Structure 1
């Protein structure tokens, strides 16, 4: 419920910001000096309004990093200068924040998918989030082993009819796809098998 309330508040704030875009910060309207990067004519104003409404539609679905949103808006043929202006406005209004996005992404990937820190870090990098923001968001993510062990136990329960060596391979495959590798994957897989009644890890 709290997450839905947060989303509703964000969408409502974003809608208000978008509604104000064509009217605020324009040279000669008394709200911004002529030297700002605000649109200079009706065409620019229309482009910014169109990009803003597209951004609303995108962000209403889920949070995005700045780089993600920029890529999607440009792919829809919105001019780069207009997109960059809009992104600055959204960032100034705290409606676009890579640090907040990274923290939310880490929570969803840890709690929803049980992904490893390495896999989450790679995904954040692909989404254009700076390594520093990713590191800050991952600082409280906890150790990988409990998440790897939970995934390993689940796979172990579903492979009880198979030979031990096959079960080990299947478990390691699941862990690998979630980004767990090396000693953590081996430790989690073997512990999960050893916890099964009458089973010994190969």
Structure 2
């Protein structure tokens, strides 16, 4: 092949841009629908759709952050104010945060691990779709992804887990590449 397909260029140029370097404008409603449609086009053995998405934007972002700050303050009244302020602003720092929820669970035919991998693939497709639309994204977890009370406050149902939180916005800094593993360090040829 002499010409590089646009899809390969997209994949080769995707870089994480830190949440602190994302700003408005964020995706429109139509663009968000596109993001979710593309995120949903992943391998899904059994057609279970073992994932779902929660959008944090606008006034709801501030309310979610307030609940997280309240949770931390209730657990430890000595929590420093700067930490509480960080939580209050967790979702307002960017135009849009999309939580990817893994709904993986026991199934008679489909291994739970395959369902978890499907949620991870949905998260990566979401990141790639944001890049394709001209935005930047960062896939985060942090403490809120692993804390049961925070999960319940943010909309998790019984048996669900966060695959991650994808922050989306317009980048204020250019992307910077990081060192990638060398081919020979990550590839072996199977031999009989």
**If the TM-score is normalised by the length of the shorter chain, which range does it land in?**
under 0.3
Greater relative contact order structure (CA < 8 Å, 6+ sep): 2
Structure 2 length-normalised TM: 0.26
Structure 1 length-normalised TM: 0.25
Structure that is richer in helix per residue? 1
Specify the structure having the higher radius of gyration (Cα). Answer: 1
